[in-house]
Amino acid sequence: MFKCNAALACKNPPQMSLNRYEEALFSYWEKNPDERRHWQGKVTDAARVASQPGETARALERELWEHFVERSPHVPALREMGAVGLRRVSLLNLAEHIVRLWGPPPKPRKPAVPPH
């Protein structure tokens, strides 16, 4: 399924659970560097605009579904998923995952100041 490689760092950490649509889309990106770079750029741009990581993921999730539906007639692995005509499937876990992978590192939290 997912493994570590130098181009993408470690993917699908044990705490991250992706559905079969998310796995298929991520695997497609692994095999298509141009698509992967496109989405890495989208993540960077979305993270720059959004104030909270959750906002970034929700915005990307909508775009991911549109991308999935658009690519599914042309990509055999996605076509097998039968996205055309299906009800919308959540890709939020994938969106959160790629924000963690390709987005900016989280800002360090300020230490709590003890009350005087």
d(CA 57, CA 104) in angstroms, rounded, equals 13
Each residue's pLDDT expressed in tens, for the chain with a length of 116 residues: 344 333 444 454 446 789 999 999 999 999 999 999 999 999 988 888 866 768 889 989 999 999 998 898 888 988 887 755 667 889 999 999 999 898 887 777 777 777 76
d(CA 36, CA 46) in angstroms, rounded, equals 15
10 Å CB burial of residue 71 (0-12, 13-18, 19+) is middle
Residue in the structure block whose two tokens are 């399924």? 1
d(CA 50, CA 23) in angstroms, rounded, equals 25
